[in-house]
Amino acid sequence: MAQPVRGPFKNQAAKVDSGDGKIGAILWRYLTETVADKTPAQVLPVQRMQLPAQAGADDRLYKISHSTVLLQLNSHYWLLDPVFSKRASPSQLVGPARFHSLPLELAEVPELAGIIISHDHYDHLDKASIQALEARTALFIVPLGVDQHLRDWGVPAAKIVALDWWQQHQSKGVTFTATPTQHFSGRGLFDKNQTLWASWAIKTDQLNLYFSGDSGYFSGFAEIGRRLGPFDLTLIETGAYDDMWSDIHMQPEQSLRAHLDLRGKVMIPVHNSSFDLAMHPWYEPLLRLSVAASAYQVPLLTPMFGQPVLLSESAKINQAEPVTEQWWRQLLPAEVTAADEILLPQSL
């Protein structure tokens, strides 16, 4: 039996600051700094999902939570970074708790053609979800080293495909290509960068999609765009950012720049509106991104959790008409709504 490939893995840039040297300062800020609206004051709208056991012929997308996305492609279901546990944490007693209900409960997830994992952080790789879904999942596609986590949790090795950057795997008419990101990995104190982190290009005969996982802004987006783009739709992390860890998470304007580098047509922001993971208001990622996207005339979709996004065959997504409303604007404080016009995008 082949042994799993282990790290330490490295980013493309020679030096990337993951914030490790600032842990004390970061913790102090979490304990002492007051940030208005870090979590919603009102209940977030969620559209309950009722899925047939067999995926339909129409290609669809559902944002379930944070970076958890269900894809319906070629009449099969695929799940990205499933986290159904209440907390994105090694413990379900402490740590960031989801502040909205789920549109689809774990027990309601249908049979899956596969699960795709971007990296092993707790808000992207959830042990309880993996173990609960294993019997309903035909295939797990993961970056190098993450396969060992799955083996340790009881997933049969025959179900797992572990890929390095730029390697591909085809299944059910879908080609998955692991692509670079600028991030790091680790689930404990002593395993930093022992598993690889990746983004994913997901291609069918009709669609070309991109899922960023987690990343700071870097030149790799342009390379991915040149090699595998253009993309009909990009799912790009927009949330949990801060100047203290700017190398590993993008500001909203950088997320838009990444979309443009990737040669994306339509953008959906992920990695927001679920967990309190940074020192900004919960709505700020969507607000800043929407202002920037409007200024640069980028079609932006912000579906509520559970709302289906139909991926059409011709234009893939109709750019002439809005597909989803900006549900989050209805929950903005009055003073923020009034100041919206002065939130000009930073230089891209």
Taking only the tens place, the pLDDT of each residue in 50-64 is 999 999 999 999 999
| CATH architecture of the domain formed by 56-342 | 4-Layer Sandwich (3.60)
210-269 confidence digits (pLDDT tens) = 999 999 999 999 999 999 999 999 999 999 999 999 999 999 999 999 999 999 999 999
Is residue 308 pLDDT above 70, yes or no?
yes
Q: Please, what sign has the CA dihedral across residues 239, 244, 249, 252?
A: positive
What is the token pair recorded at 252? 């909203």
Confidence of residue 316 (pLDDT cuts 50, 70, 90): low
Please check the confidence at residue 24 and state whether its pLDDT lies above 70. yes
pLDDT score of 313 more than 90? no
pLDDT at 144: 98
Q: What is the pTM of this model?
A: 0.94
| pLDDT of amino acid 45 | 96
pLDDT band at 81 (very low <50, low <70, confident <90, very high): very high
Strand partners, 264: 231
Residue 320 has pLDDT above 50, yes or no: no
Mean pLDDT along residues 272-286: 97
pLDDT above 50: residue 314: no
pLDDT band, residue 202 (cuts 50/70/90)? very high
Is 173's pLDDT higher than 50?
Answer: yes
Q: Is the pLDDT of residue 16 over 90?
A: yes
Question: Could you tell me the sign of the dihedral formed by the alpha carbons of 106, 109, 114, 116, in that order?
Answer: negative
The mean per-residue pLDDT over the stretch 289-310 comes to 93
Token digits for 122?
A: 């707790």
Instruction: Average the pLDDT over 305-314 and give the result.
Output: 81
- Distance (Å) of CA 266 to CA 63, 146, 209, 256, 293: 15, 30, 10, 11, 10
